[in-house]
Structure 1
Amino acid sequence: MSTNLVTLGKLPKKNLSAKPGRTVGLIVVVAVLSFVFFGGSLAALSMKAGLSSVKARMGADIMVVPKGAEKEAAGIFTKGNPGTFYFKKDPTPSVKKVAGVKNVTTQTYISSLKAPCCATQLQIIGFDPKTDFVIAPWIRSQYSDKLQDGQVIAGANIVPAENGNIKLFNHQFPVAAHLAPTGTSFDNSVFINPNTTKMVISYSKAVGRPAVAGVDKAVSNVLVEVEKGYQAEDVAAYINAMGDMREVGAVTPAGLTSKMKATLGSTTNYMFGFLGLFWVTGIIVLVAVFAATANERKRELATLRILGARKAELVKLLMTEAAMLGASGGAVGVFLGALIMYPFAGLIQSNMQLPYLPTGWATGICLALACLIFSTLTAVIAAALATRKVLSKETYLTFRAGE
């Protein structure tokens, strides 16, 4: 007695394996849809997380920078472009006198060189741990020890040498700590205290490329915390209106982030619009492919009806096949998407020139599951739309049409 009987429950798998070319083709179509949907959604979520990270890192209400350096300062924060600029005269005492100013702290920005004297070109940020209310709290959340003279704290993307040091202007600086990724320019920066800032400036002069010249104290940025009851925009206007402040430009970080938000919003809108259009096109393609496949299988389906299979059982058969194809294609697409989006996040961030903080694995897994479900449902719906007409015909007519 033969043991190779095929039941309706085993038919979906048998049918798919019997037509490997057709099966692979359908899986590829679903995989492409899944890949684009997963990758695009992951990129949009990462950009949103990056913008939130920028807002958190720009904890000051106002940035006071040299007039004409506003774009360069914005580029350091938003695009990670290394830069060096400073005031000819430290404006901190004058800023402190402005109505509405609660706290101030200063920072110094120095760009290392693309030269043998430096390991790589990066942003060096000098800050004062005693007065800083922007960087220091964030650093303390990950590094509780005191930052010693001659040490640096490295951003997430900074790779020190095997000895744990980083070379800047022909001098080795021990890396005291590595910070967690933020998706901002801070990932490509190193942070130093005021005494180390003076050391870096002197070392840059020694290699013939002085980072600072003609000033006693290098101040690139005065960060201002505004008192309650005052608007940052109003205080910034007060600073700009002071007679001895003509050489400065006051920038509100809210203005920077709002511009980024607008750019990010238009980018994500275009992205989701493309995803929607691509998905609709994919459904149309799947419906066409399933319709052609169902048309080829009219005789097979009619034979099953003659052998006693009910329409509901045939519907279940076709939907099961579609679900298997959708799940397989979805899994392939998600795997390829994760294989590209996570390992190459740094490259994506540098090319996009926008804040980009890769989502965690928990979010990625949830998105992957949603994508798998969506891919499976899409394949099932496409199959249902394509096969409805075939299954609605009388069995005899369908059988004759298949002859």
Structure 2
Amino acid sequence: MKKLSSLSIALSNLSYKINRTLSMLLLTSLCAASVFACVVLSYGLKNGINTIQKRLGADLMIVPKGAEQKMQSVLISGEPNYFYMEKEIAEKISQIEGVEKVTSRFYLTSVSEDCCDFPVQIVGFELETDFVISPWIEESFPPDSKKFTEEFYTEGCVVTGSNVLTQKDGVRFFGKTHPVSGKLSKSGAGIDNAVFVSMNTLKEIYDDAKGRGFGFISDGNAGSKVSAVFVRLSEGAKADSTAVKITSRIPNVSVVKRDAVFSEISSSLDSVFFILKILAVSVTLFTVISLAIIFPLAVSSRTAEFSILRILGAAHKKCAEILLYEALFISVAGGLSGIALACLLVFPFCTAIDSALSVPLVFPPPAILFLTGCAVLLAVIFAVLLSALKSIIAVSKLEPYSTMKQG
């Protein structure tokens, strides 16, 4: 006769009491799903803000008066927008004390949805003076490659954000195809959904559009106006004092400070992080308390079963092992299914979450996600074993004859 192991007896017990098993699996699954999702979302939001802040590259952004929120929408969520001011403003700003570098941007937004192969914001930048986008573009080429500057100067190529899908021959704007010379690495910001072109290429696109009768949501002219001026401060210069100098000398402009933008976003997300923490802690406590109630009830209803095992020669350790294996199975199976459920709910809907929170999500690399999943699984195992500890100790001390006599 085949000897029954503690594991086989535990699995038989779990399959026999299927309703009880499923209820415990559901509890542990919800616990793992909530903790994993909260950790990943918190990491993704914080990483998204840090990535944008790091890659913005400018200390100040000067925009037309009243366009501050539009500028923030372009930077953070990638919402196509338009606002224009005179091109000469960039030269005036460069002469202000505390300003080290300036470069201009032009945001092109078409009235027609038929202009392009896909809905996208076209961003023109000054190749000669740019210090924001150019470093990213150069990263998409091999070291010491001259392809970047050569193609931009001679061929009118474009560089796309990481989310922009392109055809093999390039992208089409207003009937003309432009080759793609590079794709930016993912930043989690609005620029992931944009197409970047030099100012010369932008003027070509603008002229092609006008020639074909396409209009624009403004009177902005690619040759005489810009949308924003990005400023890098000199070493030791203060953002606040420089901003005051700019607004006092140049009328009808507003200054968007990088630190102010991201501190405002971080403050608005504090409540989101708090809710995520409360959710994870609450679900974990509910799971531990519920299982701490269920396990003793289950042991109480199985007193006769464990007594018979003891009478048949099973040691105290054997009975405790059976309950331990049951707890381990519940925790591992529930933990893995919960993590899988969280992945199915979070990753496919990251775009919707981006839109709802107006903040980009930049998830950790697969290796970090795997380690996070392992940590969550270990935490769930610990929580379940903690819930079952009292019951395991009680079973290990069970005396069969006195128990059967009481029964």
TM over 0.5: yes
Match of 1:237 among 233, 240, 244: 244
**Secondary structure of 1:223 counterpart:** strand
Task: Give the partner amino acid of 1:247.
Answer: N
Deviations 1:5-63 (A, max 9, x none): 31435422332233333323322221121112112211111111101111112111111
Distance in 2 (CA, whole Å) between partners of 1:282 and 1:203 is 63
Give the structure 1 partner of residue 387 of structure 2: 382
1:194 equivalenced with 2:199 (yes/no): yes
**Secondary structure of 1:167 counterpart:** strand
Task: Give the partner amino acid of 1:35.
Answer: A
Deviations 1:67-110 (A, max 9, x none): 11111001111222111111045311210111111111111112
Give the structure 2 partner of residue 338 of structure 1: 343
Distance in 2 (CA, whole Å) between partners of 1:20 and 1:170 is 64
Offset at 1:191? 0.6
Unaligned runs of 5+ in 1: none
Deviations 1:302-361 (A, max 9, x none): 223333444444333212210111011111111222234334433432333212112210
1:16 equivalenced with 2:14 (yes/no): yes
Give the structure 1 partner of residue 76 of structure 2: 78
1:300 equivalenced with 2:305 (yes/no): yes
| Larger deviation, residues 289-298 vs 311-320 | 311-320
Task: Give the partner amino acid of 1:330.
Answer: G
1:179 equivalenced with 2:184 (yes/no): yes
Contact 1:112 1:168 in 2 (8 A): no
**Secondary structure of 2:85 counterpart:** coil
Distance in 1 (CA, whole Å) between partners of 2:229 and 2:42 is 33
CA separation of 1:397 and 1:217: change in aligned 2, threshold 3 A: farther
Distance in 2 (CA, whole Å) between partners of 1:164 and 1:34 is 46
Distance in 1 (CA, whole Å) between partners of 2:7 and 2:255 is 72
1:315 equivalenced with 2:320 (yes/no): yes
CA separation of 1:289 and 1:231: change in aligned 2, threshold 3 A: same
**Secondary structure of 2:236 counterpart:** coil
Unaligned runs of 5+ in 2: none
Give the structure 2 partner of residue 279 of structure 1: 284
**Secondary structure of 1:277 counterpart:** helix
Give the structure 1 partner of residue 377 of structure 2: 372
Distance in 2 (CA, whole Å) between partners of 1:73 and 1:12 is 61
Contact 2:36 2:373 in 1 (8 A): yes
1:65 equivalenced with 2:63 (yes/no): yes
User: Which runs of structure 2 are paired with 1:82-161 in the superposition (5 Å)?
Assistant: 82-113=80-111, 115-143=113-141, 144=145, 145-146=147-148, 147-148=151-152, 149-161=155-167
How many residues align? The count is 397
Offset at 1:137? 0.8
CA separation of 1:113 and 1:214: change in aligned 2, threshold 3 A: closer
**Secondary structure of 1:95 counterpart:** helix
Give the structure 2 partner of residue 224 of structure 1: 231
Offset at 1:113? 4.8
CA separation of 1:400 and 1:125: change in aligned 2, threshold 3 A: farther
1:362 equivalenced with 2:367 (yes/no): yes
Offset at 1:177? 2.0
Offset at 1:224? 0.8
Normalising by structure 2, we get a TM-score of 0.90
Root-mean-square deviation over aligned CA pairs: 2.2
1:210 equivalenced with 2:216 (yes/no): yes
